[in-house]
Amino acid sequence: MNKYYVIPVSELKEIDPDWKTRRKNVDATEAIIHVETYERLVVATVGSIMSLSEDLTEKNTYPVYQGRDLRELLNSPGWTPDQEGGLR
């Protein structure tokens, strides 16, 4: 089953050149990103600076969503704009 992180957009901008294409909440302050995509981006960004270790993965404190929890999140008012709004 696919797993996604909810990550602040301000942090996502630092590692993801495609951050504008990610699904964002209505306020455009958080985005979802596939766990594997995030991990690949982190390794590419900091891999040359430090080796991937438990310290790197332990620093990740983003909530993980999948299945029903993910659907409920994305259908919630904070992630689904009203009829006149649009995803940002």
By the 8 A CB rule, do 9 and 30 touch?
Answer: yes
pLDDT value at residue 26: 95
pLDDT value at residue 1: 74
Q: How confident is the prediction along the chain (88 residues), in pLDDT tens digits per residue?
A: 799 999 999 999 999 999 999 999 999 999 999 999 999 998 887 765 555 454 544 456 899 999 999 999 999 999 998 766 554 4
Burial (Cβ within 10 Å: 0-12, 13-18, ≥19) of residue 74: middle
pTM of the model as a whole: 0.76
Chain-centroid distance, C-alpha 17: 13
pLDDT value at residue 18: 94
Among 40, 30, 42, 41, smallest CA distance to 5 is for 30
Count of CA atoms in the C-beta half-sphere (13 A) of 81:
12
pLDDT value at residue 88: 44
